[in-house]
């Protein structure tokens, strides 16, 4: 009996211990269900050792191993980790447990300092805490280089910071080094546009930025955005001491700690990023959606028109050639009936194309252009019953009229193909006076040489109501034989009390300033040349706007980008350093010395948006 009781007590104790152990295990596993018992881990990984030591000299092995105090992972290492000097074959960088390993694929150069800049690519495995601005360096010689150059990269047109661009330096200060040699040392701009080129030896350098589309660390494609300075730099360092005082109490000094610090000269370089106007020239495609027109599309505007050599038709002088606004698309309107009736136009196209050496050469392509009907209309036609009449087609018409029309604007009407007006009497403009509509004289002016846009200017009366009518078939398209449908629009003209006026007094007026008013997306609302020191913008809609100007050095009234071969920087851009509130029936006057505020502090923060150089398309 005693033996049975002892056995029962032993089994009971075992069951109790098992229950307690299970409860503890469940509590430990269920970390997210209740109070955690401590703060969240926000400490980044910490380096505890490495092979070789960071800053080591006479290291000749092609491997680096860095050990951390916890398991780490690499976040976007291909983009973030930069090895300097630049490598022909990228080094292998990988994280394994608590280690990060780097294996160089190129042979190490003698007497050279190597830098592996991890940026913020190293994070801990649990919470993703970043080890920010971490770099590792070693030298294959007796001395490790320690000088540094730093600054910021901004977009030349918008002054926005540019990230992910290669920053490189050359000790060969000739102009050809940038286009024929790899950089001596490189870095990358961070999301704020900031960069630091580290571990430089003392020498004279030129500095560049490059969106390296070809991955060869030199400027060899005209599509690559760049920045350069003709200034040369000699990086230097200066050591100085600071004293930190530790107090026992409010009156008694305990210890004075002396700290040694280093400052680097060439630490405030500003590079302006731009893309040259001269791009690679090539033909994209051709299309012929209608019998009486075809289009040729290129990647960039052409300086001269391409030559068309017909194969199965006679080229007629009765052809209208229209350039798109960007100048990269040519549309040919065929007024010759034989060309229109040719099912497939075949011809040889002679056009300029950029070859592999970057030179413009004459290229020949044989093209065949059948009429390609819109698929939707073709399906609709096939489904229509035989005895059903097709719907009446009209030439498309668009206007700029709105219910509340600006007092300074002219009416504009646009068409998708050339048209002509059959009679002035088919256009009617009337003003409402009390309950009557009084007819007004109309003067129709062509906006372009093709008859695709027209305007009607009138001295509108404020707060008056008008209506504009176009009779059916007032405009006829000779090529398609279509005409316009009826059009009617009633509108009311704004009053001067609806508008704001902005007056800018330029304190350092030179006569070269071109002012631009912008909305919150930096769309240009108005542009005006400063003919005198006071510039007035009238008839502005109330709201928030922004202001910038560029110095129009060549007088073409367009912002001109830079050019490396001629050492021309982009035309200087400046921003008014705050947003401007426009109120109806108010004059807002601002004095502006655009050189007073440092350039990097000019652009208002609410419209400053970082630009990723890697997002730039070829």
pLDDT for the residue numbered 387: 59
Helix-strand-coil percent breakdown of the chain, rounded to 5?
A: 10, 45, 45
Residues 435-491: pLDDT tens digits?
999 999 999 999 999 999 999 999 999 999 999 999 999 999 999 999 999 999 999
For the entire predicted model, the pTM comes to 0.84
Share of the chain above pLDDT 70, in %: 87
Rg (CA), the chain: 36
* 529: its two tokens: 């040349």
Q: What is the DSSP string of 38-101?
A: S----PPP-EEEEES-TTBSS---SEEEEEESS-EEESSHHHH-EEESPPSSPPEEEEETTEEE
The pair of structure tokens assigned to 172 is 């060969």
Q: 392 pLDDT band (50/70/90 cuts)? A: confident
pLDDT tens digits, 88-107: 999 999 999 999 999 999 99
**Closest alpha carbon to 198 in 227, 238, 167, 174:** 167
Cα–Cα dist 295/286, whole Å: 6
Q: What is the dihedral of CA 504, 509, 514, 517, to 10 degrees?
A: -20
The whole-chain average pLDDT of the chain stands at: 90
Cβ–Cβ < 8 Å for 369, 287: yes
Selecting from 1.10.150, 2.60.410, 2.60.40, 2.30.30, what CATH number does the domain 498-615 have? Answer: 2.60.40
Say which range, 137-146, 265-274, 360-369, 374-383, has the weakest mean pLDDT.
374-383
For the domain 47-139, what is the CATH code? Answer: 2.60.40.1220
How distant is the alpha carbon of residue 613 from its chain centre? 8
Mind listing the pLDDT tens digit for each residue in 154-166?
999 999 999 999 9
3-state secondary structure string, 236-304? Answer: CEEEEEEEEEEECCCCCEEEEEEEEEEEECCCCEEEEEECCCCCCCCEEEEEEEECCEEEEEECCCCCC
**Going edge to edge, which strands form the sheet with 465-470?**
404-405, 487-493, 465-470, 427-433, 436-440
Assign 256 a pLDDT band (cuts: 50, 70, 90).
low
Residues with Cβ within 8 Å of 380's Cβ and at least 6 positions away in sequence, in order, are none
pLDDT for 280: 83
Question: d(Cα 409, Cα 493) in Å, to the nearest integer?
Answer: 10
pLDDT score of 29 more than 50? no
pLDDT at 430 over 90: yes
**In the predicted structure, residue 232 carries a pLDDT above the cut 70:** yes
Cβ atoms of residues 109 and 83 within 8 Å: no
- DSSP symbols for 342-397: -SEEEEEEEEEEE-TTS-EEEEEEEEEEE----HHHHHHHHHS-TTSPPPPP---E
The answer on pLDDT for 283 being more than 80 is yes
Q: Report whether 100 contacts 80 (CB < 8 A).
A: no
Look at residues 131, 26, 155, 34 and name the one whose alpha carbon lies nearest to residue 75. Answer: 131
pLDDT (tens digit, 9 = 90+) per residue, 207-227?
999 999 989 999 988 889 999
Q: What is the pLDDT of residue 379?
A: 42
Q: Cβ contacts of residue 337 below 8 Å, gap of 6+?
A: none
Structure tokens belonging to residue 437: 């509509």
CA-wise closest residue to 411 among 423, 402, 420: 402
């Amino acid at each position: 009996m005693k033996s049975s009781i002892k056995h029962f007590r032993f089994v009971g104790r075992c069951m109790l211990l098992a229950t307690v152990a299970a409860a503890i295990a469940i509590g430990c596993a269920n970390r997210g269900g209740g109070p955690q018992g401590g703060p969240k881990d926000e400490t980044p990984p910490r380096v505890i050792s490495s092979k070789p030591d960071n800053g080591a000299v006479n290291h000749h092995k092609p491997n680096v191993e860095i050990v951390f105090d916890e398991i780490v992972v690499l976040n976007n290492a291909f983009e973030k980790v930069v090895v300097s000097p630049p490598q022909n074959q990228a080094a292998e960088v990988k994280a394994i447990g608590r280690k990060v390993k780097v294996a160089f694929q190129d042979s190490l150069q003698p007497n050279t300092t190597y830098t592996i800049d991890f940026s913020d690519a190293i994070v801990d495995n649990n919470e993703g805490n970043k080890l920010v601005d971490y770099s590792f360096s070693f030298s294959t010689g007796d001395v490790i280089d320690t000088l540094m150059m730093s600054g910021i990269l901004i977009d030349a047109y918008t002054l926005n910071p540019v990230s992910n661009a290669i920053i490189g330096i050359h000790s060969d200060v000739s102009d050809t080094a940038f286009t024929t040699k790899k950089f001596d040392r490189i870095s990358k701009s961070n999301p704020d546009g900031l960069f630091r080129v580290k571990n430089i030896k003392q020498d004279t350098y030129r500095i560049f930025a490059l969106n390296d589309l070809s991955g060869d660390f030199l400027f060899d494609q005209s599509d690559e955005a760049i920045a350069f300075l003709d200034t040369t730099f000699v990086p230097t360092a200066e050591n100085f001491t600071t004293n930190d005082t530790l107090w026992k109490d409010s009156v008694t000094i305990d210890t004075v700690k002396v700290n040694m610090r280093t400052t680097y000269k060439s630490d405030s370089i500003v590079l302006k990023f731009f893309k040259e106007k001269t791009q690679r020239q090539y033909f994209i495609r051709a299309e012929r959606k209608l019998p009486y027109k075809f289009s040729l599309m290129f990647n960039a505007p052409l300086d001269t028109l391409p030559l068309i050599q017909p194969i199965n038709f006679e080229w007629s002088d009765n052809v209208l050639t229209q350039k798109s606004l960007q100048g990269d698309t040519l549309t040919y309107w065929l007024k010759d009936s034989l060309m229109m009736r040719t099912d497939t136009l075949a011809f040889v196209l002679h056009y300029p194309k950029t070859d592999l050496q970057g030179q413009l050469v004459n290229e020949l392509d044989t093209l065949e252009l059948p009429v390609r009907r819109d698929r939707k209309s073709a399906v609709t036609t096939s489904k229509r019953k035989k005895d059903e009449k097709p719907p009446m087609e009209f030439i498309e018409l668009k206007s700029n009229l709105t219910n509340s029309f600006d007092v300074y604007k002219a009416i504009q009407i646009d068409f998708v193909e050339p048209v002509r007006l059959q009679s002035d009497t088919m256009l009617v403009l009337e003003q409402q006076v009390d309950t009557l509509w009084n007819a007004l004289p109309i003067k129709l002016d062509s906006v372009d040489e093709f008859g695709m846009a027209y305007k009607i200017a009138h001295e509108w009366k404020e707060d008056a109501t008008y209506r504009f009518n176009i009779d059916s078939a007032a405009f006829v398209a000779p090529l398609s034989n279509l005409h316009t449908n009826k059009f009617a629009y009633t509108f009311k003209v704004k009053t001067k009390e609806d508008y704001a006026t902005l007056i800018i007094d330029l304190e350092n007026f030179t006569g070269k300033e071109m002012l631009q008013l912008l909305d919150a997306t930096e769309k240009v609302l108005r542009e005006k040349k400063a003919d005198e020191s006071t510039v007035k913008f009238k008839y502005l809609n109330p709201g928030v706007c922004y202001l910038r100007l560029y110095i129009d050095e060549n007088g073409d009234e367009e912002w001109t980008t830079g050019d490396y071969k001629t050492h021309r920087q982009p035309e200087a851009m400046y921003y008014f350093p705050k947003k401007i509130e426009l109120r109806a029936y108010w004059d807002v006057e601002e004095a502006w010395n655009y050189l007073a505020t440092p350039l990097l502090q000019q652009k208002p923060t609410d419209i400053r948006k970082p630009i990723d150089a890697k997002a730039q398309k070829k």
